[in-house]
Amino acid sequence: MLTKKILTEINKYYTAKISTHGATSSGVDWNSRESHFLRFEQLSKILPKDLIFSLMDYGCGFGSLIEFLLENNFKFNYSGYDISEEMITKAKSIYSSSNISFDSKLNGNKYEYTIANGIFNVKLESTNQGWQKHIEKTLNKINQISKKGFSFNILTSYSEKEFKKGYLYYADPLYFFDFCKRHFSKNVALLHDYELYEFTIIVKK
C-alpha cells in the first residue's frame, strides 16, 4: 500500500508540471497534443456516440478530455477528479458549464462511465510490487463508481529497454487484462495496436 508521502510526492510532481507548462499536453506530462488525443481516442471507445451519459474523468488534470469530447460531438455530463488542487483550479478557469464540474475529492457519486488517462504511469520511488497493488486498489474503486464500464491505460512492459525510465511503471498488459476479467466483467478488451508505448483496457459491464 502506498504511503501518504508517496501520494504527496506524486501530487507535487504533477503540480510542478502544470505550474511550469500551463494548460498544455506538457502540463499533464505528455509529449504532444497528438499523442495526448490518440490516448483519448482509445479510451473513449467505452463511450456511446449517440446517447447522453455521465462520465467521471479520474485524474482529470486541467480537463483536456472535455475538448476531445466536444470535438467529437459526444453528449455528456462530466465530472473531473484530480488530487492536484492546482490542476483543479486551472480546469475550473478553462471550463465553465452546467454539465461540467471538478473536484479534488470523490463525493461518493456513481457514473455511467469512468476514464482514467495516465494516472498509473508515474510511480517515483515506489516499488513495482507496491505500485501494482496501488493500481489494483484504484481499479477496484473505479469499478465501484462505474455503472456501465470504464477504461484506463498504462505504459507497457513491451516498451524498448533503452527508453524505459526508473521513475515510471511499465505493466504487463496480460496481467491486467486477466485481473479485469476475473474481478470486474467478462466483457474486457485489451488495445495494444496503436503507436504508443502503452496499452488501453476497456471494461464493459
Residues with Cβ within 8 Å of 33's Cβ and at least 6 positions away in sequence, in order, are 24, 25
Residue 69 belongs to domain spanning: 4-103+126-204
Residues with Cβ within 8 Å of 176's Cβ and at least 6 positions away in sequence, in order, are 135, 154, 201
Distance CA 101, CA 76 (A): 12
Would 112 be classed as within a structural domain?
Answer: no
Would 196 be classed as within a structural domain?
Answer: yes
Would 169 be classed as within a structural domain?
Answer: yes
- Please determine, for residue 153, whether its predicted confidence score (pLDDT) is greater than 60: yes
Would 113 be classed as within a structural domain?
Answer: no
pLDDT in the model for residue 200: 99
The per-residue pLDDT for range 125-145, each reduced to its tens digit, is 899 999 999 999 999 999 999
pLDDT in the model for residue 33: 76
Would 49 be classed as within a structural domain?
Answer: yes
Q: Give me the number of domains the chain comprises.
A: 1
The per-residue pLDDT for range 84-119, each reduced to its tens digit, is 888 899 999 999 999 999 999 998 999 999 999 999
The per-residue pLDDT for range 1-39, each reduced to its tens digit, is 555 666 777 767 666 666 666 555 444 444 667 888 999
pLDDT in the model for residue 3: 55
Would 121 be classed as within a structural domain?
Answer: no
CATH number at residue 192: 3.40.50.150
pLDDT in the model for residue 59: 95
Would 111 be classed as within a structural domain?
Answer: no
